[in-house]
A and B are shown apart, each in its own frame.
Chain A
């Protein structure tokens, strides 16, 4: 038996619904249809009245989740594409994210964002928005890269008393498989060392973990040992694990699929530079998508986001510094 990243997300939601009567799912087409990507397939049937189709109203979907969370429910809302969450931006960053701080009443909700590019999806169905949500106080932002993390982190997201932006990568939905669902997991907020090496640290998350691992493999044939750190959650950011890795390797490359201005990769570099300047043997580097909207044509799309090839190129440049 094997299970995909998408199935893990569905199984986690099924488990959450089964284990906790406070959980319900609300979003566009999530009901009988099972969601645009089938992340809620059969759930309405199994949990009648708790998997609910919403009108195309991302703002109201999120406000609705906030209201029910105030009442002690544990809503999971699905944005059909991460890109559409910008319509809900106000409710996420001003309503959900400020509620606890303003009122001392926590706001336990999960916003599922199908993120990242797939070939041919173009400017409005490909975005990675972890950066803008991480900017706001009061939110937890998760970016699982593996089937196991997709499952365990989604369950943890439901259990957390704060609003969680759960960035799941569409490119991993069907391709990424695991043998079975995990029974234990690292806690949220802890990064994972996914590959050990002594020459350079690549800090990354979500689908870029797999591009970075492929690049590390390619460089291994040239004799380089590349360490890869999967952040797992970008907020909170596990600075300790990153710093420990940089202390071992002396070189840092940060890779993210979001746009370059500011952002997660810049944050990691800022922290390492400020706290670990003496650990660095070369200037820290980063690799992001290009600073344009996401292109439609596969040739342009493949060049717009970092890939194993461009990660390997950036790593080689850094190793020469």
Chain B
């Protein structure tokens, strides 16, 4: 038996003989409860749930209990709460948001293309990790955050970083190892941030930034700050770590305003999702943690802005942790060293393989919000901005190991003084 649940229909009674399967297609975000007032003693639900918080299709089996000869069953689905869809913003503000998002995506794309070319020219030590194809997802988070929020981006979040307020110079200086950058030549590429401005520099161990964001949010709560949001990003592979589990569970227990954005790009480096997890959808994890979950097409900027924006808004207004699964392909390798030959061509040719920047551009033209000439002008401006930042940083001095402060603790009197030959 198939049952569509929509915002208009919130109660239904079904009946059948003996046993059956109900599929519920749920396109909104609800909390639902199941009731079996008639023959509840003889039938049970499988999985044995009575409240489901979901916005995803689910299957529930109704089974007759052993040693029971029931005549039939009936089941009531009762909506216990709803999360109303945010009212459609005024088209003027949607337009402004889309234009701002597009420009940031464009800046991100052009900047990363420049970094990739510097890498190929041997000008960057270590790796370059870009977010080509994932800009719409990333920018939609960064653009919804505001000053005073905290953001711990992952490796494909140049667009989100720029939208949050990171400067192009910070990015270029970190990649080129300039001592004037926020990491002062000590850490590179995606491992950059300014903790005191709410931008946390990731360590490489996936999932381990979640609990750090939780700690920041807890401290803000202790200090009486209101309406603060903490956001962090991962890929599908990051959801397999223990740190992801501990972090999301902790946020749920503490009811923190955390937005956990997962860019599900179907490959963790080269490993496909069927070797990464066995649940039907990553969204199913939201139920397990007792957090709200939503899913979005990561190639569609409007859908991303609306869905991720909704999650940020719910977290800000006291709705607790939010899990967002954005489905999208990365249109690049894991890093610039990787040709991504393992990605299934069928997936590349599917709608998930669309380039979000092109999708956005077509939408802007279709809506008549920009014309070709304006797009060309934007690109020229962005290219100029990136070239100028790179030229500036390339003139900056390299760090001097003989002048460097080799102190790992801030309490100078507690620094170890080794008398070995490296001292």
Query: With A64-B215, A103-B195 in contact, do A236 and B250 touch (Cβ < 8 Å)?
Result: no
**Bound-complex Cα distance A77 to B193 (A):** 25
**Bound-complex Cα distance A103 to B216 (A):** 16
A125 to chain B, nearest CB (A): 21
B218 interface residue (CB < 8 Å to A): yes
**Bound-complex Cα distance A91 to B212 (A):** 9
- Please name the residue on chain B nearest to A137 by beta carbon: B408
Q: CB-CB < 8 A to A188: which residues of B?
A: 414
Q: CB-CB < 8 A to A137: which residues of B?
A: 408-409
Q: CB-CB < 8 A to B220: which residues of A?
A: 71
Q: Count residues of chain B with CB under 8 A from any CB of chain A.
A: 49
**What residues make up the interface of A, taking CB atoms closer than 8 Å to B?**
24, 49, 54-55, 57, 59-73, 75, 87, 90-91, 94-95, 97-106, 137-140, 160-162, 187-189, 235-237, 239, 271, 274-275
A-B contact count (CB 8 A): 149
Q: CB-CB < 8 A to A69: which residues of B?
A: 215
B187 interface residue (CB < 8 Å to A): yes
Q: CB-CB < 8 A to B195: which residues of A?
A: 70, 99, 103, 105
A67 touches B414 (CB 8 A): no
A70 touches B215 (CB 8 A): yes
- Please name the residue on chain B nearest to A62 by beta carbon: B211
Query: With A68-B216, A162-B409, A237-B416 in contact, do A60 and B247 touch (Cβ < 8 Å)?
Result: yes
Q: CB-CB < 8 A to B273: which residues of A?
A: none
20 A-B residue pairings within 8 Å (CB atoms): A57-B250, A59-B208, A60-B211, A61-B211, A63-B215, A64-B215, A64-B218, A66-B212, A70-B200, A71-B219, A94-B205, A97-B408, A100-B409, A102-B201, A103-B183, A103-B201, A138-B409, A236-B417, A274-B420, A275-B419
Q: Which of B191, B218, B250, B415 contacts A102 (CB 8 A)?
A: B191
**Bound-complex Cα distance A69 to B410 (A):** 14
A236 touches B416 (CB 8 A): yes
A96 to chain B, nearest CB (A): 10
Query: With A60-B249, A68-B219, A97-B408 in contact, do A105 and B420 touch (Cβ < 8 Å)?
Result: no
**What residues make up the interface of B, taking CB atoms closer than 8 Å to A?**
182-184, 186-187, 191, 193-196, 200-201, 203-205, 208-220, 222-223, 242-243, 246-247, 249-250, 253, 407-411, 413-417, 419-420
Q: CB-CB < 8 A to B215: which residues of A?
A: 63-71, 75
Q: CB-CB < 8 A to B414: which residues of A?
A: 140, 160, 162, 188-189, 236
Q: CB-CB < 8 A to B186: which residues of A?
A: 101-102
A64 touches B212 (CB 8 A): yes
Which of B213, B218, B249 counts the most A-chain CB atoms under 10 A from its CB?
B218
Q: CB-CB < 8 A to A57: which residues of B?
A: 211, 246, 249-250
Q: CB-CB < 8 A to A189: which residues of B?
A: 413-414
Query: With A161-B411, A189-B413 in contact, do A103 and B182 touch (Cβ < 8 Å)?
Result: yes
**Bound-complex Cα distance A24 to B219 (A):** 10
B401 to chain A, nearest CB (A): 15
B212 touches A55 (CB 8 A): no
A16 to chain B, nearest CB (A): 15
A59 touches B419 (CB 8 A): no
B80 to chain A, nearest CB (A): 26
Q: CB-CB < 8 A to A100: which residues of B?
A: 408-410
Q: CB-CB < 8 A to B410: which residues of A?
A: 100, 106, 161-162
